[in-house]
Structure 1
C-alpha cells in the first residue's frame, strides 16, 4: 500500500497434505523406481499461495476446508505458523485433501490430487463474503468447486476487491467468473486448454479477461493487457531442486506486489524472483520464500 501498510490478501482455495517421493527419474506406466527420499508437507494450491502471500509480506486470510484427520491438524498448524489467518478455515468430517507427488533429480514432477475435504468448500458464509469484500486482492485457483470460485469472485467484485485467478488446473471458465476477473495467471498448458490453440495466444486470452500473465517456467513470464502493454519479463537464474510450488510462490507474491500498488509489470518481475527462490528447495509450503529472500534475488537480478 502507498502508506506502507501490508496489503490485505484473501486466498480462497484448496488445502492438501503433499506426499513427495524423490527419485532419479519419474517412473513410466507400470514401472517401479527406487526413490532417493520422501517428504511429507502441507500443500494445495490455495494453502501454498496463502503461505506465499504471507511470507511475501501480505496480511493474508485463507478460506478453505480441511478434514477432521491428523493431516488437517498439520495443515492448519502450518498455515498459522506462516502468519496466515485461519479464522474462517472450515473442518469437514473425513479426509483432508492429499497430493501424491513424484519428483526427479532435474526437479520435474508428476502429481495426483485426491480433493477430500476441498470438495465440501461451498456456499460462502456472510463472514467469508465480508472478509473478501474487505481485502485489497482476492486470489483464487481451481482445486475447489467452480461455484465457490465464482461466488468468491462475485463477492470481490461487489466489494471493490481486485481478483486474481490462477486457472489451474485448467477447466472451462464461466462467463460470470470471467466477468469478475481482473488478472488471469496461467502457464502454457493452461493457456492452450483455455483457448483451444496449439500455442499460447494472449490475444485470445485478452478477449476473456483484461489482464493476463503467462508463466513460462525457466523462461520467465509474459504480461499483456487490453491497454496495449505486452512485455516479456526475464527470469532469475538459480540452481533448481524442485519446481513443485514455484507457480504458487509466483502467484502469492504477485498478489502482494500488486496489492502494494506496484506497477503490474514490476509486480510480475518481483513474482518471478519469488518463483525462482522457491525452486532452490525441495517441497511445497516449506520451500516458499520469505520477503527478504525475494528482495535479495530481485535486487541481484
Structure 2
C-alpha cells in the first residue's frame, strides 16, 4: 500500500506562454518582448511549491494527450509529485502571460482539459484525499469538482485549505463552509465579501484598514475557519476564530513581507499557498504564525526567479 501524502493538491495544469515587456500592453498597443514557455497553472504551481518546500505531495488534475500533458508528467516525476490524472480529449490548459520590467503581470487562461476535471472522477480519489494531512485547492478547476474534493477530505479528517483564486464572484458558499483555512488576496477577499456578505470594501484600501475591522470582516466571511489575506508587499493578515487560534497567542495579527526586488511576480501567490500547506502539514502543532512567516519568505524568494512552477525555490521547511 502506498504511504499517504502530507499534501494533496487538486487543480489545474497550464502550459504558460510568457512575454517579458518594458510595460504591460495597453488596448491596441503592440510591443516588442522576449518570449519563453514553461509549466504553470495554479494547481501545479502550488503542488511544485509544496514539494520543493519538503512535503510529500500528490496532484489531482486533468491533462490532454499532447505535449503539454507529457510535460506535466515529466516535470511532476522530476519533483517527486505523485500524479492522479483524468485523461481528457481536450488540449492541455494554456495561459498567456505578460510581465513588465517591475515584475508585474497580466494573465489570460485557456482552460482546455482543466474544464474536464469532474466531481465523479474526484470522488474516486477519496482514499488519497482522506489519507492526507492537508488538501489544497483553488478555483481554476470546475467548482463542483473542488467542492467534492473538499467534502471528501473533510469526511476523512483531512485539513482543507482553499485559495479562492482567481477571483470568482460565484464561488459557492458551500466551498467556503468546507474550508478550514481560506487564503484570498485583496481582490479575491473583497469579491467574496461583496458576493456573500453585505460589506462593500475597496481592495486598494484594504492594507490601510484597521486590524480590528479586518478581523470582523474575516469573521463575517468565514466564521468557523482561519483566514489569511495576502497583501502583496504589505505581507499578510491572519484572522482566527477566537476559540481556535491554531497555536497563536492572538486571534488576529499581521505578518510583514520579506523585502526583495522582484524579477517576476508570476506565481508568487501560488508559492505562498504551496509553502503554507507544506509547512502546516509538516508540523500542525506549531504556532500558525511560524507557518505564515515561512510562506512569506518562500513567496519572496520565488519572485527572484523567472517563471511560475519553474521559478519555485528549493527551500525546505525547517522543523526544530
State the TM-score, normalized to the length of structure 1.
0.92
Matches within 5 A, 1:131-280: 131-171=128-168, 172-196=170-194, 197-199=200-202, 200=206, 201-209=214-222, 210-227=225-242, 229-260=251-282, 261=284, 262-280=286-304
Is the CA contact 1:124–1:151 (under 8 Å) kept in the aligned structure 2? no
Q: 1:22 aligns with which of 20, 28, 38?
A: 20
Any idea what the Cα deviations from partners look like across 1:89-136, whole Å, max 9, x if unmatched?
222122110000000010000000000000000023554111000000
> 1:102 aligned to 2:105?
no
Aligned partners of 1:7 and 1:221: how far apart in 2? 27
Aligned partners of 1:65 and 1:270: how far apart in 2? 30
Say which SS state the counterpart of residue 306 (structure 2) adopts.
Answer: coil
Q: 1:83 aligns with which of 80, 83, 106?
A: 80
Backbone CA RMSD of aligned residues? 1.7
Aligned match of 1:55: 52
Aligned match of 1:298: none
> 1:11 aligned to 2:35?
no
Is the CA contact 2:4–2:132 (under 8 Å) kept in the aligned structure 1? no
Residues 202 and 98 of structure 1, relative CA distance in 2, 3 Å threshold: farther
Is the CA contact 1:245–1:285 (under 8 Å) kept in the aligned structure 2? yes
Is the CA contact 1:71–1:96 (under 8 Å) kept in the aligned structure 2? yes
Is the CA contact 1:10–1:135 (under 8 Å) kept in the aligned structure 2? yes
Q: Which 10-residue stretch deviates more, 19-28 or 197-206?
A: 197-206
Say which SS state the counterpart of residue 87 (structure 2) adopts.
Answer: strand
State the TM-score, normalized to the length of structure 2.
0.86
Residues matched between the structures, number = 288
Is the CA contact 2:269–2:299 (under 8 Å) kept in the aligned structure 1? yes
Aligned partners of 1:58 and 1:286: how far apart in 2? 17
Any idea what the Cα deviations from partners look like across 1:227-254, whole Å, max 9, x if unmatched?
1611110111112100001111100000
Aligned match of 1:130: 127
Say which SS state the counterpart of residue 257 (structure 2) adopts.
Answer: coil
Is the CA contact 2:122–2:148 (under 8 Å) kept in the aligned structure 1? no
Aligned partners of 1:6 and 1:24: how far apart in 2? 46
Is the CA contact 1:55–1:83 (under 8 Å) kept in the aligned structure 2? no
Aligned match of 1:45: 42
